[in-house]
Structure 1
């Protein structure tokens, strides 16, 4: 019975569409469309107050004000002669009479040979420029002449600052800080 009702409903809808009943219903609902041109009303002018007048500004300053002429009279005095006398008595600093040397109580060992340099067979002599303090320690190590291999140069410079000690340079009986050159030779056949 339900199936028969559904079939009848579908047949009724198909008949309505086939006979044009659907288009007649749309035309009845839709109605004719009318278009009219509406004149725009003229703009209404409102009574607005006029804008306020610009504020009165002060007159600008002149573009250039000349500086006043000022003269100061300073008496010319000759430089004091006492300074010349002191300067003539001061002697030039003398060079250290004794250069730094190895400390026999703490002999300086050879820097470690970098393992990668041993494997690659890198050899050479690096000349270091060491700044040796008055207490005999190395404050700074610069590479004066490279061995040709950066790893060997860096190994020597770092080790010199870290571990080397010297008897300091002497000048007039006083320990002084000086720059000192030292060569380090790396040879693969000397590796333990």
Structure 2
């Protein structure tokens, strides 16, 4: 008969502590805790530097005093009715002496002055061709709109000044139809500026003869004066 051998069982012995493993696990847990705290910490708002507001630039403008209004000049005219025009072809024209130019209105510096018109030619001076006696000596041509011409840039650059006298042909409606230089300012740029402005922008009260409007001829000086 076989006998079974029984080996007595030994009780479980406690395992010794591994200090290296415990230290590694503890360090891992500490690192994870630090990372978690970093992720949970609120993000501080970024500080954006702004430029301090600067006082706006202030420009002081000196008010311009209004200039006194200059009354519209009344210009001498010579009307040419049809009968007088036919008679002028048969009769020779007479020469008379022109009066010296009247005093000019002193404009403000840098302005363009429309001078008083030259009145009926009398006395001595430059010779001009006078109209036929049939023209109405009492007729007058009054400017309704006479804006001064713009000062040419080249004339400002070269400091050009002068007075140009223009012969203005006006139709029965008061519109200039032709402008001619009677006396030059001595500078072509000033003469052309005055011609263009009078022909383009000036308007006159129609000359009247026998109760009806008729074409007329007037003479007007325009002065160009620069400031100091």
TM-score range, shorter chain: 0.3 to 0.5
TM-score, normalised via structure 2 length: 0.40
**Larger helix proportion of the pair:** 1
Q: Which has the higher strand share?
A: 2
